[in-house]
Structure 1
Amino acid sequence: MQGTVHVTCPACAGVNRVLADRLGKAPLCGRCQAPLLPGQPRDLDGPGLERLVARNDLPVVVDFWSPSCGPCRMMAPQFEQAARALAPGVLLARCDVSAAQDAAMRHGIRSVPTLVLFRQGREAGRISGALPAGDIAAWVRGAL
């Protein structure tokens, strides 16, 4: 990867330009100094999801889940492991469909857990069902 990429801050939602070769060096937000790539999934509401997807040059994988879903709760630690494995080149986020029903409807989520890969603000892949960390990472790499 060459040049600069835009990365949205998980803390203040500010958009930062980061040199692509510095992504692995724990860049901080220019506005609030929070880590831009914490290596763990971000929890998002509906508007936060739309900002993250639309304003990032990095691919974004969103786990649409529900706290009342057993497979979703079982997959949560696997999703966190996949976030560490895919960092810093891919951002992972979680969206609770019971709290962000509008976002779930907008993205056509019919079952949980559902993983959606976004590139350049557009859906690039989708898979449903609980997966182990290795399968999540392999699916993302294969879809890129």
Structure 2
Amino acid sequence: MTDTLHIICPACQAKNRIPTAKLSAGPTCGVCKAPLFPEAPFELDEVRLNKHLRNDEVPLLVDFWAPWCGPCKMMGPMFADASRQMSPRVRFAKLNTEQHQSVGARFQIRGIPLIILFSKGKDVARHAGAINADQIVSWLRQNLKG
């Protein structure tokens, strides 16, 4: 692992360089001072997703969901719980596929909820369907390298 990692701020989208030794210390953005690993998953749109995929050096798990989807609503609190368990090893975000339909087409999303694990900008694993926090954490551990 390198001595520093690039992390995009979920609040202001500034690019931050954080020493790996300080990841567990709750690092904040050098520009806006927002937490780089917020307690709850952060919202993305297509532009923000693209920036995170291009620049983030910490794995990113994105929950693709829609407000009309019952299983999506049911999984939301469990996704947030898994986020607290896996931070700072993984960052958690949500993307509303109803508002950002081009993203659904781009990633060939056929059903929601769908979680996609991205590492260094690449889609490395997917899981379709609602799962609980323990299942999310277990699935992540199986799919993370190193």
Cα deviation for residue 39 of structure 1 reads 2.9
Where does structure 1 differ by over 4 angstroms across 4 or more consecutive aligned residues?
none
Instruction: Check conservation: 1:61, 1:117, Cα contact below 8 A.
Output: yes
Matched residue pairs, number? 144
Hey, what's the Cα distance between the residues in 2 that align with 1:70 and 1:117?
A: 22
1:92 and 2:128 aligned: no
1:63 and 2:35 aligned: no
Hey, what's the Cα distance between the residues in 1 that align with 2:96 and 2:140?
A: 21
Residues 26-85 of structure 1 deviation map (CA, whole Å, 9 limit, x = unaligned): 111111111111132111111111111221000000000010000000000000000000
1:53 and 2:16 aligned: no
Instruction: Check conservation: 1:53, 1:121, Cα contact below 8 A.
Output: yes
> Could you say which residue in structure 1 is the equivalent of 2:31?
31
CA RMSD of aligned residues (A): 0.9
**AA aligned opposite 1:79:** F
Hey, what's the Cα distance between the residues in 1 that align with 2:78 and 2:123?
A: 22
Structure 2 gap segments, 5+ residues each: none
> Could you say which residue in structure 1 is the equivalent of 2:115?
115
Cα deviation for residue 2 of structure 1 reads 4.5
**AA aligned opposite 1:44:** L
Instruction: Check conservation: 1:24, 1:88, Cα contact below 8 A.
Output: yes
> Could you say which residue in structure 2 is the equivalent of 1:7?
7
Secondary structure at the aligned position of 1:99 is classed as coil
> Could you say which residue in structure 2 is the equivalent of 1:143?
143
